[in-house]
Structure 1
Amino acid sequence: MQFNPISIVLTLVGGLLLAALLGWIRRPRLTVFVPRTFSYNQLSDKGHLVEVTVFNRGFKTEESIDVTLNPSLKYELLGANSPDATVDRNRLKMTRIAPSDEITMLLVVENGVFKPDDITQTVSKETKGVTVAKLEDVPPTAMQRVFLVGVFIVLPAVCYLGYVAINNAFTAPEPTAVAAAPIKTIGWTIPSFYQKDDNLLYKSLESGKLSVELGTLSAKGDIVSVPFQLRNDTNAVYNATLQAFTSTTDKRTPRYEQLISNVIVFPGGKTEKHINVAIPITATGNERIIFITVFLEDTNGETLKLNQNYIAPDKINQEPASAKRKNG
């Protein structure tokens, strides 16, 4: 039998490349990101609010996640999108995070100003995590990595076959990788990592079976009531967290009144909730922008985040002086 050295070398190189790609795809990816901090809150005169999100972008469920924070600061858990999240002194603990899922926690931090550098270590049962400064640095999910590898292996082969077939008549264009950008669905801006065909909440919102709409604003002086109208025509139960504020809201209403959590909407049901924000009657420009966030979660742990910067109209219907509407 005659051996071809070039074939042997190519086989070895191909095997090593395939092993490297499989290792890259299957490598655990535990990532911590601090989307935002709020300098003012009504819960503590000495503290501020910090939002911390822990992503699992690997193939396997991460268990026993432990995020160690600066021990010189004091931490208290205000809310989370999972019952598995707890705070033990300067450590954030989570029992488990499913593949391609994340847990978000809202913390009250005292005794100093919290910075991303105050996250000193992130570990789970099987891996160590990293902290990123920008949302763009959060790695893609496992299935997205499989898709990327498939594209960059199959696409060059297709281009080469096309090149041979047309006998150098055309040059196959070089593919350009374009990062997914947030899209708008029915007025809501949806972050790119929620735009997945297997995300039932996203597909239900896109098809109209699930809707989150803003009703007509009403006001009593400078306090404006923002109505959230939620409708569920799916077969699943989902839990909603609603948030709304303006640039002047913190001066007029407590931070905790700008957030409504645990709004349960059953199949075939609908509900309406109100959040009060402050908009001076004489406000113009950016003072009339209402910053709105809606976070949805179903019983399977699927999540969806909606954002909208709503510009309040110049004329808002004023309620009678005797009328008084509370949040909820």
Structure 2
Amino acid sequence: MVPRRARGARCGRRRRRWSDHRSAPEPRPRAVRRLPIADLRELRRARGPRERGGARGRARCPRRGAGLKVSIAGLGLIGGSLALALKTRHRVSGFDIDASTREAALAAGVDIVGALEALLPADAVIVATPMAAIVPTLASLAQRSGAAVLLDVASVRAPVEAFAKSAPNGCRIVGLHPMAGRSGSGFAAASAKMLELRPFLVVPTVRSDTASMALAGALARDAGGEVTVCSAAQHDRIVAVLSALPLAFASALALAGAETVDGNLAALSGPGFGDSTRLALTSPDLGSAMLLANARNVRGALERARMILDEVDRAIAAGDFAALSAILERAAQARRRLS
């Protein structure tokens, strides 16, 4: 994926960490089909005739979703962008362990509280901390969440799915993962526009219900996103290919290029190399956490990519122009679907 949040930093004189809580047990994802989903307009197969006639473009929130009290834990790239996007429609408050981040968010018009527990009560709390701190933060909030729906932006769902199974009764937890980002990090890089028309993967847990899923979908649409619902297992397979694999390839290409030209990339490389290696700028801590947390799926994605590279290698070794052209045409057809 892309860089997201600022690292844990000093708050006054005492260094605090998001991760000063228990870690979750190993996951076992659950199929999504057991849970009924309602009111998610971007699920095209589930839409009724009246929903199909609307104008295309920025998604709109149902009227009933206006004016919610939405709290956000973690105001880095993703959390900060969500705060900026949602504050025009909802009463948004935020908290971050980094004092300078809190000050920057306050200057941008986000209401700031002084402690994690002060984010409650709320209609929804979005946990957008660094990945290692998401489950501990959910665990802390779940003890006193009340009627609030706990949402999280984790780019790997299995640990959250595992935690949800042991969460307190009555606690509602839904994954809300925006497939968006940029090479910058922290609140300084946050932007509401970054989320516009981006896919938001809404992932139910064993602690989700129809109302909490509908709320997650409404907030995603209010942030400018387009909603797709998938299970934790489906989500982690998808992001292994669409986020982790590009990171691994960008890193490998950057290293291979630098070694080939003795590090003199700026003088010799063109825009194609720069575009292909942008994700190598991902924070090493964030990238390592994402690759390791989803290790089985990432290794499967790497194996599939190796098979395709081996196919290319065999065609080159054989001088088989037709085979190479066929591979490249398949790739071009796949890429055109992004347009």
Give the TM interval when normalised to the shorter protein.
Answer: under 0.3
Structure number, greater radius of gyration: 1
The TM-score with structure 2 as length reference comes to: 0.25
Higher percent of residues as helix: 2
Highest relative contact order (Cα 8 Å, sep 6+), 1 or 2?
2
